Structure 1
Amino acid sequence: MFDSKQIFTIQSEEDFQKTTLEVFRYQAQENEVYKNFLNFLKVDYTTISHTDEIPFLPIQFFKKNDIISGERAVEKVFTSSGTTGMATSKHLVTDLALYHYSLEKCFEQFYGPLSDYTIFALLPSYLERNGSSLIDMVEYWIEKSNNPQSGFYLYNHDELHENLLAHEKTGKKAILIGVSFALLDFVENYKMNLKNTIVMETGGMKGRKKEITREELHSILKEGFGTNEIHSEYGMTELLSQAYSRGDLTFKTPSWMRILIRETEDPFRYVPEGKTGGVNVIDLANYNSISFIATDDLGKKIKPNQFEILGRFDHSDIRGCNLMIVES
């Protein structure tokens, strides 16, 4: 019997290959949408012997299909943001505890225990709608921080400014996580000199401001917050794990998540490290939905667990997270 939590014990490439193939075989049999997709491609799942051979489900399938592996009941539905009339993705989560376990273990890999931090969240566009996986994630961060000073801020920038300054004086660690346009709005009116607070952007202009490159965004935010670096989170409705950038504009994945870069014209071929292509994501925390997703993001891999996000395919819908234009 496969224990889904064993994905978080991966220590080596051999572990990753073995566990990933187990998950693939399970989903090829227990996920009706994926099973039909494999049949359409005339792929016999029993012949797949390496992760590079696994077909990835296009992310658009989350818009019109219920992507579920197994027979567990749905506990929560995460939905993507979108403009009026636009079809949005929905991720049916049948094991919310597994998602929370994943996001906590992921955070710990990069930052240590959540209890070490006070969490300040500036996520107005996400807080104002239902079904955001990002809001669920940050709510869990706040709960696990076990700190009465942790909390969400909508448009009350004055209060956020005062609380950040007060917290800085304690010398304790904090994280300010915010959607890009809200962080830009904040630094237009406040200049700070944060020494103990990590500023983390989640992407997203949502048509509120002119699109800019991530480099430009980070430059403005570093000057406004008085920090040497801006961190970033890479996640999406369809994933239950996150990748993080600690200030160098490249993202790193936890041990149970992997990025592959496909050719833009041939989705079944991969490009070498350093070359730009479409981003495929293996997220083993998606055990109860689908762990193999071909996204609409453009990126390039730097190392096996390190990558850059450079933009999106022109035909893909505009979405809230990590929308940055491609540099010419």
Structure 2
Amino acid sequence: MWIDKIFNHHSDHEFSQLALEIFRYQFEQVAAYNQFCQLVGKTPGSVEHLDEIPFIPIELFKDFAITDEPSSTQMVFSSSGTTGSITSKHFVRDLEIYQLSADLAFRNLVGEPEKIAILALLPAYLERNGSSLIYMVDRLMRQSNHPESGFYLDDLSGLANKLRELDASGQPTLLIGVSFALLDLLDDGPFKLKNTVVMETGGMKGRRKEMVRAELHHELSSGFGVDKIWSEYGMTELLSQAYSKGDGIFCCPPWMKVMTRDPEDPFSWVQGPTGGINVIDLANVHSCSFIATQDLGRVKEDGAFEVLGRFDQSDIRGCNLMVI
């Protein structure tokens, strides 16, 4: 039932109506969300419009099993965090929804994986269990079915050689990597890539100093010899991803929407100025589709958005950059 509704709506009105339906469902079926809604005085009887739905603070994924049926969990994704920190856990009841979300978003916003070789430089994620990013990229590699697609951990020289070889042969290639590892790879540069998309997933993971996105992209584009650096915006608590084809401007798939809240008032909205990023992810139907992140950003009139930093004192996570 939910799969057809989530992935087959089209208009803004249909999105809003489905979001309200999911809100009512999660209010009744997700205990932690119900408790939060009661605390902030929001019930299905008092919520009639999309902008009245309460968004759960993302930190609650660290303390609660946010799911409609804990006994039916098929997989648990966990966040990276930093050494000694408490990680978030996303209890996934229906893996098919995550698979469809990841597949369709990539095809709609990036391209067809069957046509590209995928090289992944995600050491901080490969070194632990439960990464939704590793699950997604591994799935895309299987769809790519290119013999040279693969993950790289410590063999940066081998990756550099393979990258040059594929690019020189004219093979369309995606290099996807965590920010600090892509910078490390430039030690084997410089590169002059013509047939490769370089996509960063953000995050220094404590391995390098944090950088604003513009600074990072300038260094990466210069080092790899490409005009634009693409980006992926995702996190453990979301089953959907947004993508940027350059300049840090992200587009969402049709079942995902970003709104910005007033940094001083979490229940007020801002459009245009910088605000806290709230995400509606309809693919999160079995957990919580309404999440207030610790990211700061700005939403454009067409619904695209940019990430400008993070709130002070928020955890350093793998998917975002700090404001400096």
| TM-score relative to the length of structure 1 | 0.95
Contact 1:281–1:292, Cα closer than 8 Å, also in 2: yes
Counterpart of 1:289 in structure 2 is: 287
Root-mean-square deviation (Å): 1.3
Matched position secondary structure for 1:92:
strand
Check if 1:320 corresponds to 2:318.
yes
Contact 1:104–1:114, Cα closer than 8 Å, also in 2: no
CA distance in 2, matches of 1:116, 1:23: 36
CA distance in 1, matches of 2:2, 2:294: 31
Structure 1 pair 322/295, CA: closer, same or farther in 2 (3 Å)?
same
Question: In terms of mean alpha carbon deviation, does 166-175 or 73-82 score higher?
Answer: 166-175
Check if 1:186 corresponds to 2:189.
no
Please tell me the residue identity of whatever aligns with 2:323.
I
CA distance in 1, matches of 2:158, 2:40: 55
How far is 1:304 from its partner?
Answer: 4.2
Please tell me the residue identity of whatever aligns with 1:4.
I
5 Å matches for 1:78-117? 78-117=77-116
Counterpart of 1:246 in structure 2 is: 245
CA distance in 2, matches of 1:63, 1:188: 36
CA distance in 2, matches of 1:59, 1:169: 43
Aligned-residue sequence identity (percent) comes to 52
CA distance in 1, matches of 2:81, 2:246: 28
Question: In terms of mean alpha carbon deviation, does 156-165 or 291-300 score higher?
Answer: 156-165
Counterpart of 1:306 in structure 2 is: 304
5 Å matches for 1:34-113? 34-70=33-69, 73-113=72-112
Counterpart of 2:212 in structure 1 is: 213
Contact 1:121–1:153, Cα closer than 8 Å, also in 2: yes
Contact 2:280–2:291, Cα closer than 8 Å, also in 1: yes
Check if 1:203 corresponds to 2:202.
yes
Contact 1:4–1:287, Cα closer than 8 Å, also in 2: no
Contact 2:110–2:243, Cα closer than 8 Å, also in 1: no
After superposing on structure 2, the runs of 4+ consecutive aligned residues of structure 1 that deviate more than 3 Å are: none
CA distance in 1, matches of 2:51, 2:15: 12
Matched position secondary structure for 1:46:
coil
Structure 1 residue runs of 5 or longer lacking an equivalent are: none
Contact 2:299–2:306, Cα closer than 8 Å, also in 1: yes
Q: Deviations over 1:128-162 (max 9, x none)?
A: 11111111111111111111211000111121112
Contact 1:5–1:98, Cα closer than 8 Å, also in 2: no
Please tell me the residue identity of whatever aligns with 1:296.
Q
Check if 1:125 corresponds to 2:124.
yes
CA distance in 1, matches of 2:266, 2:169: 51
CA distance in 2, matches of 1:248, 1:320: 19
Please tell me the residue identity of whatever aligns with 2:145.
N
How far is 1:70 from its partner?
Answer: 4.1
Structure 1 pair 226/242, CA: closer, same or farther in 2 (3 Å)?
same
Contact 1:106–1:254, Cα closer than 8 Å, also in 2: yes
CA distance in 2, matches of 1:70, 1:238: 16
| TM-score relative to the length of structure 2 | 0.96
Contact 1:258–1:304, Cα closer than 8 Å, also in 2: no
Structure 2 residue runs of 5 or longer lacking an equivalent are: none
Contact 2:157–2:188, Cα closer than 8 Å, also in 1: no
CA distance in 2, matches of 1:132, 1:252: 23
Please tell me the residue identity of whatever aligns with 1:220.
E
Aligned residues, how many? 324
